[in-house]
Amino acid sequence: MSMVNLISFEDLSDNRGGLVSYEESRNIPFPIKRVYCIYNVGSDVARGSHAHKELQQVAVCIQGSCTMLLDNGREKESIVLSSPYVGVYIGRNVWRVMKNFSKDCVLVVLASKLYDESDYIRTYDKFLNELKVGQDEER
């Protein structure tokens, strides 16, 4: 079973041009509190390299392409985002790295919370340790 949760968005394009919409609680599974774009990233640059304790996100590549590496501490998966009609849901406690950005890439991220530095897990060892602590608490 894949840990990658893709969301397909309806193509509302017509003879006037392309259109796709992203709507909270309709095709985005959480209230949207923040939207940001990542663009003009060099092809040899990686972004992300962190996880979030509470934040949920949907990432959509509205132009160009990039590779999203996702890791839940047990399994790792890679997906290429290259369409405004397909997004990837990134839940809590998922390590993410974005790389292989095409020159024209524009990655839009819809987030469930406002920016909060205290929600970030910035080192992979701490990420794995927090997962272990959470699993121990569930027992």
Residue 68, beta-bridge partner list:
79, 98
The residues spanned by each domain of the chain are 5-132
pLDDT at 132: 79
pLDDT at 85: 96
pLDDT at 136: 61
Q: Averaged in consecutive runs of 10 residues, what is the pLDDT profile of the chain (139 residues)?
A: 83 93 92 97 94 97 97 95 97 96 97 97 94 65
CA atoms within 13 A on the CB side of 128: 7
**Cβ atoms within 10 A of the Cβ of 126, count?**
13
pLDDT at 45: 96
The whole-angstrom separation of Cα 23 and Cα 98 is 24
pLDDT at 4: 84
The CATH number fitting domain 5-132, selected from 3.30.70.270, 2.60.120.10, 3.30.420.40, 2.40.30.10: 2.60.120.10
Which residues are tagged catalytic? 50
CA atoms within 13 A on the CB side of 28: 21
Q: What are phi and psi of 28, to 5 degrees?
A: -115, 125
- What one-character DSSP code corresponds to residue 119? G
